[in-house]
Structure 1
Amino acid sequence: MSPLQRLLLLLLLSLPATLASAQKIPFAIRTLPLPQEIADKNNQFSGLCIRNEQVLLLGESRLQEGAEAKIYGIHLGSVSELLAGKAKELDYKKYAIRGLERVRARIDSLGQIYEGLEGLTFIGDVAYISIETTTPSPYCYLIRGTINDEDAYLTLDPGFLVPLPKPALLDGTHVHNAGFESLVSHHQRVLALFEYNYFGHDNYAFELPTTAPTPDVPRYVPVDRLPFRVTDLTPVGEGRFTAINYFYKGDDDAVYRPAAGDANARFVQEGSGYKNYCRLISVRYKGGKLSWKPLLELPAEYMTYNWEGLAAYKDGYFLINDKYGPSNQSTLVYLQKK
């Protein structure tokens, strides 16, 4: 065997190991056992946020279905103890949201139909929350409220209701069941990212100053064309974020399917059909626009959960689903850096 043949053989033998190594996730995925009250799938969690010593869990608060308007806060100290094997239960607090019924009534009176809460971020003690409306409604909304940790409630500001125009398809229709699912604070502003960012025309987020006492007009921020759904966003550094990038194979989400010949089709096509797909992506806010690149794919067994909430903590991430997935309940996992 010649030296060249030996080199080629060595390269071929090392290739499978190289591919396997490249696909290893750099995190251990730890499922956190939730108290029964929080695990109830009817909470339909839609967002996560880290504040002080808590990870806050925002439910959709679907008032039209009789759901309670609330946010859960899980103490991060109890998370650390549970991960270390020193505790079996998570310590949590429930915050009642006051004034949401009035906000819903106002939205409905404008001819926009309230559907639920979707995104959550904080600037100090002030919470900013996005409201999703039904598909035909041309606007989603941003609301805010002040949290009271001692008495465990969040009181909404009745004068703050900012309409966020839904980006539309070229025929003027709206993307099915899409809203501003991702909220994050950035330089004392709120950045709201729409769920669908694969328009053939402009894709954009909204940026809203928070210093004005009354609602202000959002600023448009261009977004690099991005396939699949974006369901939450979390800060990881100056002008840097991580987001959930998720694809659901069902017919209701057909608008998210890449066209024939699209390079992204390889992630979601399976034979003549489709498969669920989920990854985390890195998002950069620089030069007045948002750009992105892939970060990591979730293992196959986690692809079928509908991940709706993401929060960076230490060197890892919390992820939570709504009610869809093989567990048939709320499932909170922590991606712990190996």
Structure 2
Amino acid sequence: MNWLFTFSTLLPALLPATGIYAQPAPRLPTHTIQLPAELAERENQFSGLCTYRGQLLLMSESRLQEQAEAKVYGLALSDLDQQLAGQVGELPFRKYAIRGLADARARIDSAGAIYEGLEGMAMLRDTAYFSVETVTAAPNCYLVRGVLDEAQNVIRLDSSYLVALPKPLLPNGTPAFNAGFEALASYRHRELLLLFEYNYLPRGNHALALRHRSPRSIALPPLPFRVTDMVPNGSRRFTAINYFFNGASDIVYRMAPPDSNARLIQDSTGAYQHYSRLISLRYRRNRIKWKPLLELPAEYQTYNWEGLAAYKGGYFLINDKYGPSGLSTLLYLRQR
């Protein structure tokens, strides 16, 4: 996406990166993709999207502890174009089995971290990187990687690659709830940029840039609510899902007045409500700045959006198992 075009069209919704974010951004037209039954099954619990060689890749959480299959689906972008143009027909798809994930899980469990599923995906050339969520009390989440083999429909994990990523700590020294690295994206085709799900500490918020096995901290202003996926969108620029889930277990993501962000997640009575938007990020000089980009339409605010991919000036989004449809929902937001 052209950065200058985006900012010129969305400027009324953008405020200074360290200021108050009160104005909603313009809404975009939407298109719901009709997924095949196997992909629409909610127990896939999709948690990541990524474009790769003419395909949209859909990553399942691959919750092995629930006997789920370790897999990534692929949809041809040319077939998705036909649906977006109004043509009706069942989408063909590919399924890539993830080999070696059970071994990685065993190593994570043996370290006491306890594997809970895959949360984010990014491609660097033919190598797929996956972030692994662990139980809240674990000090680390993890990163694994493997080569995607299109001929064999398989992603073979590298058994020698298991990188521990320390979680953010609350002021009392305990790990923040549900705060693993949920969002990751490729950067300049040679390294990864990773964001925690929770980034609203009073101080010390940071992202990670990682090349090979050596992460370094990147300064980040406080960012409210969850960050559930991120996609590169030009040189040094990214778009991310910023989502508030109104659940009793997610109290760490709540804020109340005088915090100005509270007005986004509370109704007129003060009750908390779901809230979904996209934000834009810029990475330069070892720090990240962010701004609101657009709010999702009201009918899509209650979906737990966990996957994001940029395409033709718009965005694909996918939910996990949570949402009013009771299905995996693949949505396309079209740029005006």
Q: 1:227 aligns with which of 224, 243, 250?
A: 224
Please list, as runs of the form range in 1=range in 2, the aligned pairs for 1:235-250 lying within 5 A after superposition. 235-250=232-247
For the pair 1:201 / 2:203, whether they are aligned, the reply is: yes
Q: Which has the larger radius of gyration?
A: 1
User: Structure 1 counterpart of 2:63, which letter?
Assistant: R
Task: Tell me by how many angstroms 1:119 deviates.
Answer: 0.6
Preserved CA contact (<8 Å) 1:278 1:297? yes
Q: 1:260 aligns with which of 232, 250, 257?
A: 257
Preserved CA contact (<8 Å) 1:26 1:337? no
Preserved CA contact (<8 Å) 1:119 1:232? yes
**1:185 & 1:258 partners in 2: Cα distance?**
31
Aligned partner of 1:134 in structure 2 is 135
Preserved CA contact (<8 Å) 1:78 1:89? no
**1:336 & 1:306 partners in 2: Cα distance?**
20
User: Structure 1 counterpart of 2:242, which letter?
Assistant: N
Give TM-score, length-normalised by structure 2: 0.91
SS at match of 1:131: strand
**1:296 & 1:24 partners in 2: Cα distance?**
4
**2:258 & 2:60 partners in 1: Cα distance?**
38
Q: 2:332 aligns with which of 311, 331, 334?
A: 334
Task: Tell me by how many angstroms 1:23 deviates.
Answer: 6.0
Q: Which runs of 5+ in 2 are unaligned?
A: 1-11, 14-22
**1:305 & 1:131 partners in 2: Cα distance?**
22
SS at match of 2:109: helix
Aligned partner of 1:116 in structure 2 is 117
Aligned partner of 2:305 in structure 1 is 307
Preserved CA contact (<8 Å) 2:27 2:295? no
SS at match of 1:274: coil
Aligned partner of 2:19 in structure 1 is none
Task: Tell me by how many angstroms 1:260 deviates.
Answer: 2.6
Aligned partner of 2:73 in structure 1 is 72
**1:332 & 1:267 partners in 2: Cα distance?**
25
Query: Structure 1, residues 62-104: CA drift from partner, whole Å, max 9, x if none?
Result: 0000000000011100001111123422221000000000000
**2:26 & 2:44 partners in 1: Cα distance?**
29
Please list, as runs of the form range in 1=range in 2, the aligned pairs for 1:15-54 lying within 5 A after superposition. 25-54=26-55
Runs in 1 of length 4+ with deviation above 3 angstroms? 22-26
Aligned partner of 2:214 in structure 1 is 217
Please list, as runs of the form range in 1=range in 2, the aligned pairs for 1:73-88 lying within 5 A after superposition. 73-88=74-89
The farther-off stretch of 68-77 and 201-210 is 201-210
Q: Which runs of 5+ in 1 are unaligned?
A: 1-17, 211-215
**2:48 & 2:228 partners in 1: Cα distance?**
8
Query: Residues 85, 47 of structure 1: CA spacing in aligned structure 2 closer, same or farther, 3 A cutoff?
Result: same
The RMSD of aligned alpha carbons is 1.5
**2:43 & 2:91 partners in 1: Cα distance?**
19
**2:290 & 2:149 partners in 1: Cα distance?**
36
User: Structure 2 counterpart of 1:190, which letter?
Assistant: L
**1:181 & 1:272 partners in 2: Cα distance?**
29
**1:73 & 1:231 partners in 2: Cα distance?**
20
**2:134 & 2:72 partners in 1: Cα distance?**
19
Query: Structure 1, residues 8-63: CA drift from partner, whole Å, max 9, x if none?
Result: xxxxxxxxxx99xx967452100001100000110000010011100100111000
Task: Tell me by how many angstroms 1:175 deviates.
Answer: 1.9
Preserved CA contact (<8 Å) 1:46 1:117? yes
Preserved CA contact (<8 Å) 1:178 1:194? yes
**1:67 & 1:289 partners in 2: Cα distance?**
38
SS at match of 1:231: strand
**1:105 & 1:232 partners in 2: Cα distance?**
26
**1:295 & 1:83 partners in 2: Cα distance?**
23
The farther-off stretch of 87-96 and 318-327 is 87-96
The percent of aligned pairs where both chains have the same amino acid is 55
Please list, as runs of the form range in 1=range in 2, the aligned pairs for 1:315-330 lying within 5 A after superposition. 315-330=313-328
For the pair 1:192 / 2:194, whether they are aligned, the reply is: yes
Q: 1:278 aligns with which of 276, 282, 285?
A: 276
